[in-house]
Amino acid sequence: MATQSAAPGETDLTKLLSTLKLTLNPETFVFITLPGLKLPPPSLQIQMSFREAEGTTIITTRELADTYGIEYTFPCKMITLNVHSSLEAVGFMAVIAAKLAGKGIGVNPVSGYYHDHCFIPLGREDEAMKVLQDLAVEAQKKIEK
């Protein structure tokens, strides 16, 4: 029988923000949806998938979607938040989303086991990187006080 344990990773919001390192993936990603229980081509590299009542949402590269002739939406860039946030961390993604929203930048956040990832509209990634880097610097200054 499997046992439940606390999710590993950092839960302290100030520590998370102050140690935040960012990685901008050079690929352009897109969102696709497959209706019902339809499966994607076996060689499609899936960055993320999530099954909903309407179909399965998949994030993959625009290049692969084009190669397979799959209709897609939301060309975007992925920014990885390189800090091991706990799945139980409170407010981390809310602060990230609020800071980006304050600059008029939409974000589709995805949480993995070790890191969170922000899918940012294509063309806004450099601005988003700056906003998030400034957020980390602000948090570092709070810790140094």
Residue 6 within a domain: no
**pTM attached to this predicted model:** 0.91
Residue 8 within a domain: no
DSSP secondary structure letters along 3-56: ---PPPSB--HHHHHHT--EEE-SSPEEEEEEETTPPPPTT---SEEEEETTEE
Contacts from 95-104 at CB under 8 Å and sequence distance 24+? Answer: 95/13, 95/17, 95/135, 96/132, 96/135, 99/131, 99/132, 99/135, 100/128, 100/131, 100/132, 102/131, 103/127, 103/128, 103/131
Per-position pLDDT tens, the chain of length 145: 676 666 778 888 999 999 999 999 999 999 999 987 778 888 899 999 999 999 999 999 999 999 999 999 999 999 999 998 888 889 999 999 999 999 999 999 999 888 999 999 999 999 999 999 999 999 998 888 7
Domain with 133 in it: what CATH number? Answer: 3.30.2130.10
Domain range for residue 53?
A: 13-144
Residue 3 within a domain: no
Q: What is the phi/psi pair of residue 9, to 5°?
A: 115, 170
Q: How many Cβ atoms are within 10 Å of 119's Cβ, its own excluded?
A: 24
- The domain total for the chain is 1
Residue 1 within a domain: no
Tell me which residue has tokens 């994030």.
59
Handedness of CA 80, 81, 84, 87 (dihedral sign): negative
Contact, 116 vs 84, CB < 8 A? no
Dist. CA 47–CA 37, nearest whole Å: 18
